[in-house]
Structure 1
């Protein structure tokens, strides 16, 4: 008579692999670059950042070379980057809020249970993208705008503060995009996130300067948009702002604090 053999049972159960940061980053790249709005926004960044710089330099080159000029050519050589920051706000916001709008964020958190890792992947992607794009855009604007400045004898060599403003423009756009990522996780709504960030960076930064006294003066200096933008221009239009690197340090602290708050709330709230 044959004997039935029962397979030995084992307690070893293979746990599914938890996606690492590299996998999360690849997934975020696919999601970000697979929609047309991303490409339109990136294109608008170059057009606004470089195009407006060239137009402003061409329109003001003759005046800047005259004795009546009361501004430095350095104030115009990255002028378009002040408008390009709007595109950085849009990219940072859409990277987060588009998933909340379609409820795909639940699938993302199911695939990558570590919410902090998802937030880090989005931040690395958006920050790195805007740094590279911002620097390249500033360089394109410099080459085009400086052509007209050179023609009137007020061109600026690519060194010192001018060189710093090129990669400084990339740093500033990266910081703005990261601020938008943070508010995206806090607000979870595209229009709301874009409105709040633009209000904080562009509107409140100018309004607080109307507060009288030393308090209003320092409040204006410490606003994120005012503190961060000095690193993106060789000569700021407002000489009362913080110097380039001290201002950018303040800006980084404000961005980091907002990201930390967003991380805490992301862990505590339901998707």
Structure 2
């Protein structure tokens, strides 16, 4: 009968090859990349082009600007009335005015919708630099709004000139072309950017959209009902600096005989947007997400 053997001592498992030697520092195999504004721009572009609200809002915008512009052009061309020697580009105003509501709405949704869904927490965790996030959103939205508006207004302008010059319309000058395409596109993009900043400040989609529609239409509507002679100067001021009148200046068809002219509305909107941007940035840094 064999005697039982004592159990053999267990050997310790060998240390994994990636385990650092005692006293050595660990180096991650994942490369560490310092983030910059380009990463934030890529992130914001991915978000804005992947949500349905962007496609729907831009689709309605194009339908209003191009559709109304073409409809008014063909109605005038089909009638016996002559344009009367005025620039053939003036009939694009109605489409741009109604379409600007869509662009303001898209601007609001770009920021306010993230607060409504809670996605803003993920955004700020991925990019703790809040100023960089706001800057990236502003750049991406402004570029998108400008390009879309420029394409739409250029198509309408080409259609109007080709059709209405045969009905008494005057061939527009180079400056009129530039204002009715590039100038109006910059203004509408800034107006949408103002909506984006309003969404960042208010953090509520419905409230910010209501505010922006009021900014767009309220001064003109109020001015229409100021009949008193003592309020004549107030009425004139509301007419002059209302956004519809500022838009009409780009088509050389101002509702007021005094006030801004030429490219002045663009500089006014640029100054207003810059001031609101500073306020939105200060609140973003101060408030909790």
Alignment TM-score, normalising by the size of structure 2: 0.81
Cα distance in 1 for partners of 2:265, 2:34 equals 40
1:221 is aligned to 2:240: yes
1:25 is aligned to 2:44: no
User: Where do 5+ consecutive residues of structure 1 fail to align?
Assistant: none
Q: Answer whether contact 1:227 1:251 (CA < 8 A) is retained.
A: no
1:65 is aligned to 2:65: no
1:255 is aligned to 2:270: no
1:16, CA displacement in angstroms? 6.1
Cα distance in 2 for partners of 1:6, 1:129 equals 53
- The answer to which structure has the higher helix fraction is 1
After superposing the two structures, state which structure 1 stretch, 52-61 or 107-116, moved more: 52-61
Q: Answer whether contact 2:89 2:161 (CA < 8 A) is retained.
A: no
Change over 3 Å in CA distance of 1:46–1:27 after alignment to 2: same
Change over 3 Å in CA distance of 1:226–1:254 after alignment to 2: farther
Change over 3 Å in CA distance of 1:125–1:144 after alignment to 2: same
Cα distance in 1 for partners of 2:206, 2:114 equals 13
1:222, CA displacement in angstroms? 3.3
Cα distance in 1 for partners of 2:205, 2:132 equals 21
Partner of 1:86: 101
Cα distance in 2 for partners of 1:63, 1:28 equals 50
Deviations 1:66-105 (A, max 9, x none): 66x9x76443134311111011112111111111111000
SS at match of 2:94: coil
Partner of 1:125: 140
Partner of 1:97: 112
1:177 is aligned to 2:192: yes
Cα distance in 2 for partners of 1:79, 1:219 equals 19
Cα-Cα RMSD: 2.8
Cα distance in 2 for partners of 1:37, 1:66 equals 38
1:231, CA displacement in angstroms? 5.2
Change over 3 Å in CA distance of 1:15–1:187 after alignment to 2: farther
User: Where do 5+ consecutive residues of structure 2 fail to align?
Assistant: 1-19
Q: 2:168 aligns with which of 144, 150, 153?
A: 153
Change over 3 Å in CA distance of 1:80–1:226 after alignment to 2: closer
Alignment TM-score, normalising by the size of structure 1: 0.86
Cα distance in 1 for partners of 2:213, 2:233 equals 25
Partner of 1:51: 67
Change over 3 Å in CA distance of 1:64–1:20 after alignment to 2: farther
Change over 3 Å in CA distance of 1:145–1:229 after alignment to 2: same
SS at match of 1:77: helix
Paired residues, number:
264
1:122, CA displacement in angstroms? 0.5
